[in-house]
Amino acid sequence: MQSLLSKITIIDNSGDVACVLKLAKTQIIAMLNEGRVGIPVVDLYCKYNIASSTYYKFKSKYDCMNIAEIKKLKSLAKENNRLKQMYADISLEHKILKEVLEKKFPGLIDDK
């Protein structure tokens, strides 16, 4: 299981280092499915090296989802970020063009 987890190193302001293992969403779904079929939750805490609060946080967030829905959610988030970036680029271009027109033709553009 360790090889499937990604390791994140966190350094806080005091210089202390903590290593945190991050579960992939597919692993979270698999863990919740194991809990649904009857594996004791305490065994899942040990197997996935998580706290009980983490398990229940995952359960409240991902319990009603399957892997296909997780992938769809991830693709929608990616598309949303792409659209936000497009909007930011267009807004910047619009602002620059507006400033150029205002310098070239003062009073032409009515700011409200």
Q: Where exactly are the structural domains of the chain? A: 1-65, 66-112
What CA–CA distance (Å, rounded) separates 73 from 93? 30
Chain mean pLDDT for the chain = 82
Q: What is the mean pLDDT of residues 12-33?
A: 72
Nearest Cα neighbor of 4 from 32, 33, 26 is: 26
Q: Which amino acid is at 43?
A: D
CB-based contact 21:38 (threshold 8 Å): no
For residue 20, pLDDT over 70 is answered with no
pLDDT digits (tens, 9 = 90+) for 41-52: 999 988 888 888
